């Protein structure tokens, strides 16, 4: 296992994309996704890389990035409030071409109640 590639100073840091009021739900969902991944991979931190706002390609940044170093599986979570048909097609094409598992998190479909939101996130996390 290649431990040198893990930057433990950057692990589990939540990068805030925007502190503005309309983005708060986005940032809370991002935090809940990271928490759920950490809960599910408890005890094996050295084998899981989790980053937020991570560039994954030219002009492409995913909200939550998770790599399982044991099997090489890669997961990206895209948190969106508005999803255009073009954005969805481009995103699907990009992730499919890179063979990356990805999940669209549609903010409009999620509850504003923190307890319900937490339960909904558990259903959406791919790990």
Give domain 7-121's CATH architecture: 3-Layer(aba) Sandwich (3.40)
User: What is residue 103's predicted lDDT score, i.e. its pLDDT?
Assistant: 96
DSSP letter (8 states) at residue 81 = S
User: What is residue 43's predicted lDDT score, i.e. its pLDDT?
Assistant: 74
* Cα–Cα distances in angstroms (integers) from residue 105 to residues 7, 64, 80, in the given order: 27, 11, 6
Q: Are strands 48-57 and 60-68 parallel, antiparallel or unpaired?
A: antiparallel
What mean pLDDT is reported for the chain? 87
Query: What is the pTM for the complete model shown?
Result: 0.85
Does the pLDDT of residue 26 top 50, yes or no?
yes
How many angstroms separate the CA atoms of 96 and 56, rounded? Answer: 13
Cβ–Cβ contacts within 10 Å for residue 124, how many? Answer: 17
User: What is residue 108's predicted lDDT score, i.e. its pLDDT?
Assistant: 94
**pLDDT (average), residues 27-36:** 94
How many angstroms separate the CA atoms of 63 and 76, rounded? Answer: 7
**pLDDT (average), residues 97-116:** 95
Please enumerate in sequence order all residues whose Cβ is within 8 A of that of 25, keeping only pairs 6 or more positions apart, or say none.
107, 110, 112
């Amino acid at each position: 296992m290649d431990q040198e590639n893990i930057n433990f100073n950057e692990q589990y840091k939540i990068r805030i994309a925007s502190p503005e009021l309309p983005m708060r739900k986005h940032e809370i969902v991002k935090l809940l996704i990271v928490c759920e991944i950490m809960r599910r991979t408890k005890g094996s931190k050295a084998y899981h890389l989790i980053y937020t706002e991570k560039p994954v390609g030219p002009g492409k940044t995913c909200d939550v990035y998770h790599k399982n170093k044991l099997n090489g599986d890669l997961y990206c979570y895209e948190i969106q409030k508005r999803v255009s048909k073009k954005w969805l097609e481009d995103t699907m094409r990009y992730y499919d071409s890179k063979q990356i598992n990805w999940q669209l998190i549609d903010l409009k479909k999620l509850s504003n109640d923190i307890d319900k939101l937490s339960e909904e996130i558990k259903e959406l996390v791919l790990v």
